[in-house]
A and B are shown apart, each in its own frame.
Chain A
């Protein structure tokens, strides 16, 4: 039971990172990216290939996976930057499927490796030293540390002028353009940054699961990430994490419920997708901004402080030099 909880929390952490990165792209920047799983896949595949086939260390594998995903993000943003939102969304879906089919059709590093076989026996860091049980805890710790790091970095950027400029594009390009913002460049950066973060999740997943194949990265997975962001509250990173927790709990609930509910595992397996769907409808209807709505930064206090300070002659006035 504990083992399973450790497993579940690790999965929540990995998908939490994925959900954070989609929140950057959709929740803040308004990019309807329907190919998000491609970043996850690139992170997983490139890290696996680097560590397993090329023989680099894990750090190089992870960084390589992130870089490849970031590059892919920038690449799909480049030729599509001028498209309107709906066309853009379809193009991301297509790009993700193209990338997946390339991996499905390319055998890499051996006869029964890559391509439709996927990769099995992906190396796991420190597993020999720690033993299977300790390894689970170790990997949970690693995942949570990296998820926390991703959260802090993204939250930091949100509070910077960069985050503000991204939010300005969410409701159309005209105003940011009229204010001199290079929206094309900002969009590319949002795609690359979100891609890189999602690539990290992918690399984590590959070395955790020790097996990946192209069926792990179907478009359906992208919609799970969307469910997380919409449930949690688009525009709020904590919401994205909460959404990941809820969706993964429902998604993995079959293991708990098979003994309790008089339904077979197959039925339950289908029911969980229905449950996620119903939950999304309820949230959109009753809490359209999600469980944890976006919270804009408050500035009213900055004026009051100024007045108070002014009264006490703290504020530097021209006469004080």
Chain B
């Protein structure tokens, strides 16, 4: 290992009853590149995300993030280590406004402790002002700055994805895991989302992205890991890996089965 991996997954196995969702997955995500995680439906991508972020406990194997083992930690602890995820479906509190959602995200908010709201009110005001400023910046970036007071439930599907991305950024995470950032989003907004992610990438933000839209994968990802039936089928530079025969077969075979 020449360079220290930001995220390393070692021989992860996860079963749900009789179904083996992950069957010994090992992969690495290094800093400074955008990684893609692709694979046919049911290949275990989201389960792997769940295992990495503490939403599911692996039966076997380990997850090392930034030099520290994080498997078995609760999701909130994983997030506090600087590893933030989004969800495939928007789960954001619908009755909270866009800005409330954004301000929810930052870590170490002094005002989340009851006693501090009296004892350290000055610090809370300072923090709120800082977070507000940062939230406006990020909202401008993800094109939600005109929707600050809109309830999250009233946003379009694509805007909800942008909100999740924006929230994740509020955390200043070392790595963001995006679960299908453009699925179900209208084409114009897809371009916006791609542009936002590329801009962030340029600023040094690390990403690991699950995506089915191959055009977006080609545009965004430097390196991809291909998952099939709970195993890593192939890894490598995006364009090259997508051409590999076993990858084509995995997709085509699945396609053929679905078509039949």
Contacts and interface: CB of A to CB of B under 8 A. Distances in A.
A313 interface: no
Given A179-B105, A299-B132, A168 B93 contact: yes
B104 A171 contact: no
A176 interface: yes
Given A157-B114, A162-B111, A178 B84 contact: yes
Contact of A172 (B84, B91, B151): B91
A189 interface: yes
Interface string A281-321: 00000000000001011111011001000000000000000
B199 interface: no
Contact of B145 (A175, A178, A186, A303): A303
Q: How large is the interface on A (under 10, 10 to 19, 20 to 34, 35 or more residues)?
A: 35 or more
A165 B118 CA distance: 17
Interface string A162-191: 101101101110111111111100100100
A294 B94 CA distance: 13
B59 interface: no
Given A157-B117, A162-B112, A180 B148 contact: no
Given A297-B100, A299-B148, A162 B93 contact: no
Contact of B171 (A157, A175, A180, A302): A180
Given A165-B104, A306-B136, A294 B124 contact: no
B93 A175 contact: yes
A182 B113 CA distance: 11
A167 B112 contact: no
Contacts of A162: 111-114, 117
B231 interface: no
A177 B74 contact: yes
Contacts of A129: none
Interface of A: 156-157, 160-162, 164-165, 167-168, 170-172, 174-183, 186, 189, 193, 235, 294, 296-300, 302-303, 306
